[in-house]
Amino acid sequence: MTEQEQIEALDRDDPLAAKRDEFVLPEHTVYLDGNSLGCLTIAARERAHEVVETQWGRDLIKSWNQHGWIDLPVRIGEKIARLIGAAPGQTICCDSTSVNLFKLLSVALQMQSERCIILSQKDNFPSDIYMAEGLRHLLGDNRVQLSLCEEDEIETAMHDKVAVLMLTQVNFRTGRLLNMQRLTERAHALGILVIWDLAHSAGVLPVELDACRVDFAVGCGYKYLNGGPGAPAFAYVAQRHLKHLHQPLSGWMGHSSPFQFDAYYTPAPDISQLLAGTPPVISMSVLDAALEVYRDIDTAQLRRKANALSELFRTLVQRSPELQDLQLVSPTLPQQRGAQLAYRHPQAYEICQALIAHRVIADFRAPDLLRVGFSPLPLRFIDISTSVTILTKIMRSESWRHPQFNSRSKVT
């Protein structure tokens, strides 16, 4: 078999191959940015049409009951729960990842009245750190301290004055996968509560929140979950903590009886207490439909294919003489990373722009990283070899030096 035939065989033998047909994909494009914004599914497109035209346009206010708008946050939460190892009743869809993190950081600190340190890693997703800073700004340095350590030193940085360990399971730049079980166990042994951000892990690898006895988690609806741009996020609270829950963004949707319009707040006695204001129903409905693609598959299957895709990319890059200036900053072993690879290159920005001009959509992370993501359902193995072929041509011809690829835009 030629290499081309071998790659075609991978697609032929792929048990998830048919899932690609559930997506609406741009033509003649290899999309390696599903870790930044997932692709549109047919089900999501249809639901968008239905929620706007029929539910809103025709049935208007009646849709809160008639089309189950009021239940969307819990219903979506339960669909996501399946993908993150959470038994029912602990997961809900609402607000943004950042806002949900604020709620759960507040709750965790309240539960730790004798401790005030939030420990995270320096290279955590910046918004996560910014939210902790915001809470510190609000509560004061006496009540919140922020301690940031290197990724390799998380275990040794834990001690019995730390209140909360806040980590992202898969690093947004390098793709490095942290050991959730080990770090959670170590934290608990020291009386530390843990909050995991699953932005780059939910929907692409097995996450076992219950089995790891995680306390709290948040995650994002618009990456591997394909919920659409800025899709609502989700939050998880372990069953054992629900009875202590009193989150500060106590809007009417988290009240035990929102439509009683009581004068005072009585928190809902379950996960729906995490709701604040009225949810963005259109965006939420689209996410609900997008999750249908996961109905009959499990995260182990997703993990196998994502690993095979990223390994194919890594191997092809490694073998190409033209690509030796691209320095892999992700772990070499697939079990140590999520579904992405990042390469360092001084001209990463220009290379990324040249790829996009050739219809290979990757992304750039300042100052010098080229990041490629491997969303396992829409991508074929042949797409991987196509993208590396194009990358090789760009690097060989140095076409990325063209001035058109040289002006940095606002969002990259």
Using alpha carbons, list the distances in angstroms from residue 12 to 24, 82, 307, 348, 385: 20, 28, 17, 33, 15
337 belongs to the catalytic site: no
Identify which range of 65-73, 151-159, 301-309, 325-333 contacts a second copy by CB under 8 A: 65-73
Site string for a second copy, 107-146 (x = CB under 8 A): ---x-----------x--xxx-xxx-xxx-xxx-------
CB closer to a second copy out of 4 and 412: 412
Q: Which of 23, 31, 216, 222 is catalytic?
A: 222
Rule CB under 8 A: is residue 283 a binding residue for a second copy?
Answer: yes
Q: How far is the CB of 293 from a second copy (least distance, A)?
A: 15
For residue 171, CA distances in Å to 182, 197, 309, 330, 342 come to 17, 10, 19, 9, 10
For residue 165, give both structure tokens.
């360990």
**Span of 57-65, 83-91, 209-217, 384-392 interacting with a second copy by CB under 8 A:** 57-65
* Residue selected from 52, 87, 211, 333 as contacting a second copy according to rule CB under 8 A: 52
CA separation, residue 167 to residues 101, 111, 142, 181, 319 (Å): 11, 18, 22, 12, 34
**DSSP symbol at 250:** -
Subset of 229-268 contacting a second copy (CB under 8 A): 229-233, 246-253, 255, 259-265
Residue 197 a catalytic site member: yes
57 sits near a second copy (criterion: CB under 8 A): yes
Q: Is 228 in the site for a second copy (CB under 8 A)?
A: yes
Beta bridge partners of 344: 327, 369
Q: Segment contacting a second copy (CB under 8 A): 42-50, 234-242, 343-351, 382-390?
A: 42-50
Residues 329-388 within binding reach of a second copy (CB under 8 A)? 356, 361, 363, 365-366
Q: Least CB distance from residue 363 to a second copy, whole Å?
A: 7
Residue number with CB closer to a second copy (49 or 396): 49
Tell me if 162 sits within 8 A of 194, measured CB to CB: no
Rounded to 10 deg, the angle between the 97-111 and 126-139 helix axes is 50
Q: What are phi and psi of 260, to 5 degrees?
A: -80, -15
Which value, to the nearest 10 degrees, does the dihedral of the CA atoms of residues 79, 381, 40, 352 take? Answer: 120
Looking at 3, 5, 6, 53, which residue binds a second copy (CB under 8 A)? 53
Angle between helices 281-290 and 42-49 (to 10 degrees): 150
CA distances for 320 relative to 359, 360, 385, 407, angstroms? 20, 18, 12, 28
Among 30, 39, 43, 391, binds a second copy (CB under 8 A): 39
| Adjacent-strand bridge partners of 234 | 93, 219
User: Which residue, among 216, 240, 242, 200, has the nearest Cα to 101 in the 3D structure?
Assistant: 216
Which of the residues 19 through 38 are near a second copy (CB under 8 A)?
A: 24, 26, 31, 33, 36-37
Q: Which of 196, 222, 224, 236 binds a second copy (CB under 8 A)?
A: 222
Active-site residue 62, yes or no? no
**Judged by CB, which is closer to a second copy: 300, or 411?**
411
Catalytic residues: 125, 197, 222-223, 371
